[in-house]
Amino acid sequence: TWHRSHRSHRLPSAGAMASPKWNVLMAEGFELLEQLKRSFLELPEDCQMRKPAQLRNGLCVDSWLGLLEHVLQQGAPEVVPSGARFALDIYGLESTLDMEGEAVQVHCIATEPTFFGNYAPPDDLDGQIIDLVATRCPSSARMQLKPQGLSFARDLARHAEVRAWQQKVGDSCTVNSLGLVPEDIANLNFTPGVEVNLALPGGGEVRKSPPQKVVLSDHLPIA
């Protein structure tokens, strides 16, 4: 009943408002959010509103309350007319391409996503494999390609680990996901990796212990 009576209430977007009174509106939004948090705690544990959900544009939220927080902070999730997260006419590739009259085969050699990010459609490639290999050979030939693993690849967090980290901290910002991953999310305890100690030019330092994993980029290289 509460949801139906308030569904028309639209929370303001921090990035989209140009009104001089935006700070007042944001204060009202956060006050409403605090009220919702208190009400949310009273919901039964098995309530659907407490469970994770993924929207059509690829946005993952830990609960209905998480969606409200997202709308307040970043605005309503954008969805392209087709409902697709990324444009196939821009980013899609056929398995066989015709180049200068010759057939070029496009191979996907990864088994896990190699890209993460929080980009608006139609450029949301989060969870996609962007590492592809193209070969030019006679159509009768058959080729099997396997990646040559990088020595430091095991020190890099995988897509599932990045997503778990984002969900734990409640922040899907791409830049904020870079850096060391907490060991309770991902670690290399059984086969320790590289130890890093860096002094930063502007002061401070960066330390990576052998068991820790790290995120260096929104691209997760495999080979």
Per residue in 198-213, pLDDT tens?
888 888 888 889 999 9
Q: What local confidence, expressed as pLDDT, does residue 198 receive?
A: 83
- 122 with 84: CB under 8 angstroms? yes
Say what the pLDDT of residue 82 is. 53
Q: Do the Cβ atoms of 182 and 70 come closer than 8 Å?
A: no
Residue 67: which pLDDT band, with cuts at 50, 70 and 90?
confident
Q: How confident is the model at residue 76 (pLDDT cuts 50, 70, 90)?
A: low
Residue 122 preceded by cis peptide, ω within 30? yes
Q: Which residues of 43-77 are buried (b: 16+ CB within 10 A; e: fewer)?
A: eeeeeeeeeeeeeebbbbbbbbbbbbbbbbbbbeb
pTM above 0.85, yes or no: no
Residue 15 has pLDDT above 50, yes or no: no
How many CB atoms sit inside 10 A of residue 104's CB?
15
Alpha-carbon distance 12 to 17, whole Å? 7
Percent of the chain surpassing pLDDT 90 = 12
- Residue 32 makes CB contacts below 8 A (sequence gap 6+) with 9, 11
Q: What is the DSSP string of 113-148?
A: --B-----TTB--TT----EEEEE--TT--------
Joined tokens for residue 16: 């989209």
> Both tokens of residue 87?
């444009």
Question: Contact at 8 Å (CB) between 194 and 152?
Answer: yes
Residue 204 pLDDT: 83
**Residues 84-121: tens digit of each pLDDT:** 678 887 888 888 877 776 778 888 888 889 999 888 77
Per-residue tokens: 160: 């599932």
Q: Which has more confidence, 23 or 106?
A: 106
Cα separations in angstroms, 175 against 187, 206, 215, 217: 21, 17, 10, 8
pLDDT band at 23 (very low <50, low <70, confident <90, very high): confident
Q: How many CA atoms lie within 13 A of 174 on its CB side?
A: 14
